[in-house]
Amino acid sequence: MSYLDNIRNFSIIAHIDHGKSTLADRLIEKTGLVEARDMKEQYLDNMDIERERGITIKLQTTRLQYKAKDGQEYILNLIDTPGHVDFNYEVSRSLAACDGAVLVVDATQGVEAQTLGNVYLALDEDLEILPVLNKMDLDSARPDDARAEIEDIIGLDASEAPEISAKTGMGIDEMLEKLIEVIPPPQGDPDGKLKALIFDSYYDSYKGVIIYTRIFDGRVKRGDTIRMMNTGKNYEVTEVGYCIPGTVPADELKAGEVGYICGSIKQVADARVGDTITLANAPADAPLKGYKKAQSMVYCGIFPAEGEKYENVKDALEKLQVNDAAFNFEPENSAALGYGYRCGFLGLLHMDVITERLAREFDLDVITTLPSVVYKVVMKDGQVLDIQNPSNLPPAALIAHIEEPIVKADIMTPNEYVGSIMTLCQNRRGNMIHMEYLTKTRVQLHYEMPLNEVIYDFFDALKSRTRGYASLDYEFLRYQPAKLVKLDILLNREPIDALSTIVPEEEAMAKGRGICEKLKEIIPRHQFEVPIQAAIGQKIIARETVRAYRKDVLAKCYGGDITRKKKLLEKQKAGKKRMRQFGSVTVPQEAFTEVLKLDDGR
């Protein structure tokens, strides 16, 4: 019997909120590797933002030891996956490191769009899937319905699916027994040429980049010179070990095992997720399949707010990038906002997380501009430009046509909401490919939609129209020509570049009007009238006016309470500091992000 037989490499896959992180916590607790008193809620989600939002962004991986009823000691490597469509590639690489997956289905909710999306990703990696019914402690649990959905929609036999409660710990032992039975042990040749998959990496200020890896063939130890097969870079290994969790050094890692490798690597971009590690002096013939360089789907400008230093923003962005290969940035200069950075993200959530971390971890005050997708601009001279900043769009006269990214969007919903979802998607320029009844009451809608329509507030709109019941999964499909124009916003007749957007021609009028109305609410009154205009080229298509300011006087100084008056004035002054001056017009910094929240009922 080989050592491989006592190893199980698995992931937990679930729809957001179905209890993946809680289950991971319970497993860690059960297998006794973390003292109960050290348990934080959801151990694996170790960024505050992750815990708050209940999502996993940065992966964690954990080696668990479990003594099974057959008397054998098993090593269970739990490989975490991020829980959001923005991070699908990362999910697929984590899954590639596994041999099986535990599919957690919320017994009160049933199967959802992401459940299916994640299952497909797992199937693509040839993983055995063990379905598990969670939240069985709740009165509203409907295990039979959930079982039927798993069988009907996913096609997995769920008759023996363990019924558990990750919250109370109920059924966890049974689940572990089942896991050992269903999920196969890894295969691999410990004496072959090294082939190790990087499924995550993060930066540690003492050890440099720590690579999480699954060894497929061969072995690796301290002192070896490793090579990243896709980037071609070589590093000397300074440490290898297991994640128990944390990093515990070991002599070597060999085929079938999961662990970490350090090699004085300066930034995570040098140890990209999906890359294959081999030995420089005895390289493998070919890397593992499936490597992709992270592609930014959404861009926005990040500028230092009034009183914030450009260098501070730069430092922070660099530090974030060290740990996030999917995030990139380059300097940008805006007439309105000065020097800043154009930043690329995997999606809107990724963008939110980065901007929030700038505020929280680096205490920075930044302005983020409207997010934009990358347009392919085909020029009349045949040149093709990638434009992600509306300000850089060439004059309309030089452009032959513009192409925009289209995504494949899968929406799963109870059937009663189909009508309103179809209206929503239609308004967002969605094109329905087909619709299928997964069960009598659950429908999956397949749409092709411009990414541009998805990135702003589509998810929120979807949730609000379906009382939170619909779920969404999307992925990039192709570029497609579209009639698009640049919509400029003028304040006091001066164009504000940071407020320009690229919009479909037929929607320009409505969008322009919406933005003008929103700005009218946001921009404080001045001592003069401030016209707000939306324009396409020279043509004004919408206009609002902020009336002149007439009154800002506190009549009474109550009983000599000068301090109170002073506090009011100081507050007013501080409020003004959060404003941006454009010519003679003062604009609150929120304006740049608030205009996004165009609730025009579409």
Partner 1 sequence: MTAGNMDKKRGIYIHMPFCVKKCRYCAFLSFDAEGSPRKEYTDALEKEIKLRAAQEKKNGTDKPVNTIYIGGGTPSVMDISSMSEMIKTVRRSFEVDPDAEFTMEANPATLGRKDGVMLAKLQAYKFMGINRFSMGVQSMDNDRLHFLGRIHTAENVARDMDMIRRKGFDNVNLDLMFSVPGESGDDALSDLEKILEFGPEHISCYSLQIEEGTPFGEMAEAGELTEVPDEEDRETYHRICRRLEDAGYEHYEISNFAKKGDDSDSPSPYRSCHNSLYWNMDEYIGLGLGASGFINGIRYKNTSDLNEYLSALSEGRLPIAEEHRNTAFDNISEAVFTGLRRREGISYEDAVRAYLEADDGEKKAPAESCDFRNFFWDIFAEAKEEAMGYAGRGLLIIDNEGLKLTEHGIDISNSIMSLFV
What residues make contact with partner 1 under the rule CB under 8 A?
Answer: 527, 549-566, 568-570, 572-573, 576
* DSSP 3-state of 593: helix
- Closest CB to partner 1 among residues 397, 555: 555
Q: Yes or no: say if 409 and 449 are a contact pair by the CB < 8 Å rule.
A: yes
Least distance CB 563 / partner 1 (angstroms) = 5
Among residues 385, 383, 433, which one has the least CA distance to residue 406? 433
Spatial CB neighbours of 70, under 8 Å, sequence gap ≥ 6: none
Least distance CB 528 / partner 1 (angstroms) = 9
Q: Yes or no: say if 586 and 306 are a contact pair by the CB < 8 Å rule.
A: no
> How many whole angstroms separate alpha carbon 253 and alpha carbon 249?
10
> How many whole angstroms separate alpha carbon 233 and alpha carbon 218?
19
> How many whole angstroms separate alpha carbon 280 and alpha carbon 261?
15
- Closest CB to partner 1 among residues 448, 544: 544
Least distance CB 548 / partner 1 (angstroms) = 9
- Closest CB to partner 1 among residues 266, 566: 566
> How many whole angstroms separate alpha carbon 47 and alpha carbon 53?
10
* DSSP 3-state of 558: helix
Q: What type of residue is 54?
A: G
Least distance CB 550 / partner 1 (angstroms) = 4
The conformation of residue 441, written as its DSSP 8-state character, comes to S
Question: What's the burial of 276, exposed, middle or buried (CB within 10 Å: 0-12/13-18/19+)?
Answer: buried
- Closest CB to partner 1 among residues 267, 586: 586
- Closest CB to partner 1 among residues 309, 566: 566
- Closest CB to partner 1 among residues 72, 581: 581
Among residues 441, 431, 557, 544, which one has the least CA distance to residue 492? 544
Least distance CB 594 / partner 1 (angstroms) = 22
Among residues 553, 549, 515, 504, which one has the least CA distance to residue 530? 549
List 439's β-bridge partners, or say none. Answer: none
- Closest CB to partner 1 among residues 35, 552: 552
> How many whole angstroms separate alpha carbon 134 and alpha carbon 131?
10
Least distance CB 567 / partner 1 (angstroms) = 9
Least distance CB 586 / partner 1 (angstroms) = 11
Q: What is the CA angle 472-141-14, rounded to 5?
A: 35
Least distance CB 555 / partner 1 (angstroms) = 4
Among residues 512, 360, 462, 463, which one has the least CA distance to residue 50? 360
Beta pairing class for 338-345 and 399-414: unpaired
* DSSP 3-state of 315: helix
- Closest CB to partner 1 among residues 193, 571: 571
Least distance CB 529 / partner 1 (angstroms) = 12
- Closest CB to partner 1 among residues 289, 573: 573
Least distance CB 523 / partner 1 (angstroms) = 15
- Closest CB to partner 1 among residues 169, 524: 524
Beta pairing class for 7-14 and 73-79: parallel
